[in-house]
Structure 1
Amino acid sequence: MAKAPTPPPAAAEAPAPAPKRSKKLLILLIAAVAIVALLAAVVVGLLLMKKSQSADAETEEAPAVATVDLNKPPTFVPLDPFVVNLAPAEGERYLQVVMALRVTDAKTGENLKAFMPEIRHQINLLLSSKLPSELSTMEGREALAEEIVRRTNGVLGTPAAKTGDGKATTPTGPIQAVLFNSFIIQ
């Protein structure tokens, strides 16, 4: 009598690998969810940092409101009128300008008189180097005023600081601003 062959041991253990696969699948699924959650947290963190940086940049870019101390009025030093020939590239034109310098205090205004010949010389050189087209716009006149402030403070021993790109900035010297009372190009 022949006995029925017994199934090989591997066939009897076939259902056992299914739980191992489901455990591996479960572990992979949990790991994938954890990775996705971690990536989402990183993205949210980066977005919040970017938002706070843009808010800081907006705060820095907001112009500071200048307050005026009414107990200490500003001091202005009027300059004699300038009449110069402008650069001849655009034809024979001249500039007549009357200006005043705003200085830090009255004592500085008094001390400025000793430097006036050199200050007038620097302003004359600057004005005569300009083209009429450079001075016909508000931006051109504002740039001219800033350049006069830089040069005048340079005469007084306060050289202009350099920015990262090599351009000169307006120093915090005794001359704070140039104000044009009259500006005629003919």
Structure 2
Amino acid sequence: MSKTPPARGNGKAIWLLVILLVLIAAGGSAAGVYFLMGKGAHAATDRAEAAAEPMPAPIFVPITPFTINLRSAEREERLLYVGLSLQVTDKASEEFLKQYMPQLRSRLLKLFAAQTAAELMTPGGKDQLSAKILEMLQQPMATPQPTLRVTDVLYTDFIVQ
């Protein structure tokens, strides 16, 4: 009975195969990290480019100042001098408000005249007045009327005397 000695080359082949598989796995993971990092850098670049785009210029519709007699419980003379601008988001709203300025001024005059000096002297009173103006602008001035996109009421002059 003769025994054949085991082949010594098979052990080296197994180790070479294991080393080769480890190198392939390491190369694949390095390629994956490179790909993901490259995508992250591109996403950061895209965000930076989006942030660098200029914001559209705000559009303001100025309204010439009013002088209004305020109602008073004590029957004393109180005056309000108020100037304001409306901030809009589009040219259509700006053009419509300019075209209907006399009607807008009339509505604002009636709204201001319904206020009291005590209400308007507080910051909360000014905020409430702004909310009333925005609400008033939701009521149509013409038929048909485009949707007015007024985002803010900005006071340029405000004196209660």
What TM-score, normalized by structure 2, do the two folds share? 0.59
- CA distance in structure 1 between the aligned counterparts of 2:72 and 2:132, rounded to whole angstroms: 21
Alignment pair present for 1:88 and 2:72: yes
Residue of structure 1 equivalent to 2:128: 143
Q: Over aligned residues, Cα RMSD in angstroms?
A: 2.1
Note the C-alpha offset of 1:156. 4.7
Question: Which structure 2 residue ranges, 5 or more long, are not aligned?
Answer: 1-50
**How many equivalent pairs are there?**
105
Structure 2 counterpart of 1:71, from 55, 79, 82: 55
Cα distance in 2 between the residues matched to 1:89 and 1:70: 51
Provide the identity percentage. Answer: 35
Would you say the 8 A contact 2:62–2:85 is kept in 1? Answer: yes
Question: Contact 1:96–1:182 at 8 Å: present in 2 too?
Answer: yes
Q: Secondary structure at the match of 2:138?
A: helix
Question: 1:101 and 2:86 equivalent?
Answer: yes
- Residue 130 of structure 1 is matched in structure 2 by 115
Q: Which residue of 1 aligns with 2:3?
A: none
SS at match of 2:137: helix
**Paired residues for 1:25-64 under 5 Å:** none
Q: Which runs of 5+ in 1 are unaligned?
A: 1-66, 158-171
Taking CA–CA contacts closer than 8 Å with sequence separation of 6 or more, which of the two structures ends up with the larger relative contact order?
2
TM-score (norm 1): 0.52
